[in-house]
């Protein structure tokens, strides 16, 4: 063979061998199914427990942080039984407005009520094995001394809250490709559905009785529904088949709500439709569609709110994958870099201080500390304790940016007016009464959560007010009891007794000036109005004064009085003696 020809053939043979070798290699593992694209940079935002205002602030802060990080996908890891309606809607709004192109809800292990609403607001849902999802109907949670109790809603209350919930959940379903009639079954009873599929296109659809009659002949099967509720729900939905299904009026807009239950009234349909902006993705079925769809199963009989297991979520195509670990999540998303944005430390502190019993104890501490300081001016320790308790009471809302200006203003203003009454205008009563009312009102309002209506539930403001009033009453009672005991036994108390100025023998110096002595104080109040004496100690504004050889605890009515200055009794009360400087 010619050398030149050989040199041409060898490279070709080499390339052929390389190609054959490549074909012989096993295919590279492809990433797990992800809808449409891979997401190299992923942020995970976990939250658990009840959803409240602190949850909302925390999640919205972390969503903004994820946006700044340049993430390709954001995963909201959910483990929640539900929570407050206002907080839920704030979170879903932030998810729908985020600049991150892919949002994923990871239900691990549960997303009930508000948790389910948040999950539906994400572009995609994945669920952990054994996870559960759904049951987002509004209820009222009433706080009590022995715990929270569920209180049934009246018809008016249910109708009031159902419209925005339907608008929210249906809007999310349309936005993210879920069946809107299935979504409605999570918030209202009476949603009876069958699942059908178009064999040609693979499209699936959840249909009601009216739509079943369009597609099929005969009666629909009504045995063994996939989603079966507890007996108490069955009672509530027992009359569903005898009621006509609410329908959209002629000429309805494409964005109008398509009701899936006879319990959704025309007024609710109208109110929910006004809040919907995305058109329905459901096909309008006609007689021409008969024979084009295949019945798959009887999904729900309408006697229960929809609660789905992980298997239900996958088989009904609400969830795209079962994900149990972070590694599986990373593979599902095709992620290369994964970071977790956890709650901040101050959010944990704010949640701890929001506990109703801790807030109640802080209210008692504020009242008790201020009371003791007012009846024994100059002790400092009670006032310091009250100040710290007040900071703890207002700190959660201040840390989370939820505080209103009126609560601290009412508390501080009330304390200032009480101080004016005691030290500048004693005996008038007006400033003291207004100050006391302002202080009590501020403490009660500080106890009321700064969040919006509850989900599950309605407004908690009334129960919060009752809790606040209860703890204020307990605080006043405790303060009065402790104050009375201290007034009788102040000098014998182990620590506080050292803070009280004691009587000195006549031959001891006071403030370094010889000759100003003190005789033992007599029992009872040893002075009368108008009696003159001399200050034994500086009055700032409280201290000691001597009247005809008797040493008495006094309070100055004006500026600070130096030791040795003459003073006159201005007011004699059971707990104090007010004096003024003799000019």
Contact 75, 67 (CB under 8 A): no
Q: Which pLDDT does position 520 carry in this prediction?
A: 40
What is the CATH number that goes with domain 502-581? 2.40.50.140
- Tell me the pLDDT tens digit for each residue of 357-406: 787 788 788 888 877 777 666 667 877 888 888 888 777 766 665 555 66
Stretch(es) of the chain classified as CATH 2.40.50.140: 502-581
Percent of the chain with pLDDT over 90: 42
Q: Which pLDDT does position 24 carry in this prediction?
A: 37
Q: How confident is the model at residue 32 (pLDDT cuts 50, 70, 90)?
A: very low
Say which range, 94-98, 282-286, 386-390, 414-418, has the weakest mean pLDDT: 414-418
Q: How confident is the model at residue 460 (pLDDT cuts 50, 70, 90)?
A: very low
Q: What's the whole-number mean pLDDT along residues 17-31? A: 36
Contact 545, 582 (CB under 8 A): no
Contacts of residue 345, Cβ cutoff 8 Å, sequence gap at least 6: none
Beta strands (DSSP E) in 132-282 are 132-134, 140-144, 147-151, 192-197, 204-207
- Tell me the pLDDT tens digit for each residue of 288-307: 999 999 999 999 999 999 99
Between residues 232 and 373, the one the model is more confident about:
373
- pLDDT of residue 545 exceeding 80, the answer is yes
Stretch(es) of the chain classified as CATH 3.90.226.10: 32-135+307-343
- pLDDT of residue 451 exceeding 50, the answer is no
- Tell me the pLDDT tens digit for each residue of 238-250: 344 434 454 555 5
- pLDDT of residue 462 exceeding 90, the answer is no
Domain spanning 32-135+307-343: CATH superfamily: 2-enoyl-CoA Hydratase; Chain A, domain 1 (3.90.226.10)
DSSP secondary structure string for all residues of 316-369: TTSSSEE--SHHHHHHHHT-SEEEE-PPPHHHHHHHHHT-HHHHHHHHHHHHHH
In angstroms, the CA 394 to CA 353 distance is: 9
Q: Which pLDDT does position 152 carry in this prediction?
A: 56
Average pLDDT value for the chain = 78
Q: Which pLDDT does position 105 carry in this prediction?
A: 98
Q: How confident is the model at residue 17 (pLDDT cuts 50, 70, 90)?
A: very low
Q: Which pLDDT does position 571 carry in this prediction?
A: 87
């Amino acid at each position: 063979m010619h050398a030149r020809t050989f040199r041409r053939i060898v490279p070709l043979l080499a390339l052929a061998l390389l190609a054959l070798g490549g074909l012989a290699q096993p295919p590279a593992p492809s990433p797990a199914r992800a809808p449409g694209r891979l997401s190299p940079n992923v942020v995970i935002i976990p939250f658990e427990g009840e959803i409240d205002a602190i949850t909302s602030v925390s999640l919205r802060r972390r969503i903004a942080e994820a946006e700044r990080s340049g993430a390709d996908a954001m995963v909201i890891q959910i483990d929640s039984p539900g929570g407050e309606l206002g907080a839920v809607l704030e979170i879903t709004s932030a998810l729908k407005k985020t600049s991150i192109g892919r949002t994923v809800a990871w239900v691990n292990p549960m997303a009930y009520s508000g948790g389910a609403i948040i999950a539906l607001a994400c572009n995609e849902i994945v669920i952990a094995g054994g996870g559960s999802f759904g049951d987002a109907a509004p209820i009222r949670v009433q706080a009590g001394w022995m715990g929270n109790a569920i209180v049934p809603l009246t018809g008016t209350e249910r109708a009031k809250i159902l419209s925005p919930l339907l608008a929210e959940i249906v809007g999310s379903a349309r936005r993210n490709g879920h069946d809107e009639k299935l979504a409605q079954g999570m918030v209202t009873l009476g949603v009876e559905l069958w699942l059908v599929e178009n064999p040609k296109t693979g499209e699936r659809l959840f249909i009601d009785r009216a739509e079943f009659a369009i597609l099929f002949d005969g009666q629909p099967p009504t045995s063994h529904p996939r989603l079966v509720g507890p007996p108490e729900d069955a009672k509530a939905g027992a009359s569903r088949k005898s009621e006509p299904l609410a329908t959209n009026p002629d000429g309805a807009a494409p964005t109008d709500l398509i009701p899936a239950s006879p319990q959704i009234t025309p007024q609710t349909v109208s109110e929910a439709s006004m809040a919907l902006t995305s058109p329905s993705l459901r096909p309008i079925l006609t007689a021409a569609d008969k024979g084009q769809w295949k019945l798959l199963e009887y999904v729900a009989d309408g006697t229960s709110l929809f609660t789905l297991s992980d298997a239900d979520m996958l088989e009904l195509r609400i969830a795209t994958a079962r994900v149990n670990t972070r590694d599986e999540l990373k593979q599902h998303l095709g992620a290369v870099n994964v970071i977790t944005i956890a709650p901040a430390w101050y959010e944990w502190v704010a949640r701890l201080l929001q506990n109703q019993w801790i807030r109640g104890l802080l209210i008692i501490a504020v009242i008790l500390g201020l009371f003791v300081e007012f009846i024994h001016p100059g002790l400092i320790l009670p006032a310091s304790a009250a100040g710290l308790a007040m900071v703890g009471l207002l700190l959660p809302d201040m840390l989370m940016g939820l505080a209103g200006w009126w609560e601290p203003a009412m508390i501080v203003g009330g304390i200032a007016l009480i101080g004016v009454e005691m030290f500048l205008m004693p005996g008038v009563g007006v400033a003291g009464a207004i100050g006391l009312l302002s202080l009590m009102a501020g403490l009660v309002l500080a106890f009321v959560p700064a969040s919006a209506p509850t989900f599950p539930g309605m407004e908690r403001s009334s129960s919060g007010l009752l809790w606040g009033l209860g703890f204020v009453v307990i605080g006043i009672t405790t303060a009065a009891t402790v104050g009375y005991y201290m007034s009788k036994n102040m000098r014998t108390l182990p620590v506080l007794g050292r803070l009280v100025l004691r009587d000195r023998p006549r031959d001891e110096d006071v403030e370094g000036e010889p000759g100003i002595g003190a005789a033992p104080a007599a029992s009872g109040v040893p002075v009368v109005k108008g009696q003159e004496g001399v200050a034994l100690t500086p009055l700032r504004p409280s201290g000691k004064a001597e009247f005809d050889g008797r040493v008495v605890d006094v309070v100055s009515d004006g500026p600070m009085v130096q030791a040795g200055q003459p003073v006159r009794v201005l007011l004699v009360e059971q707990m104090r003696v007010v004096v003024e400087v003799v000019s």
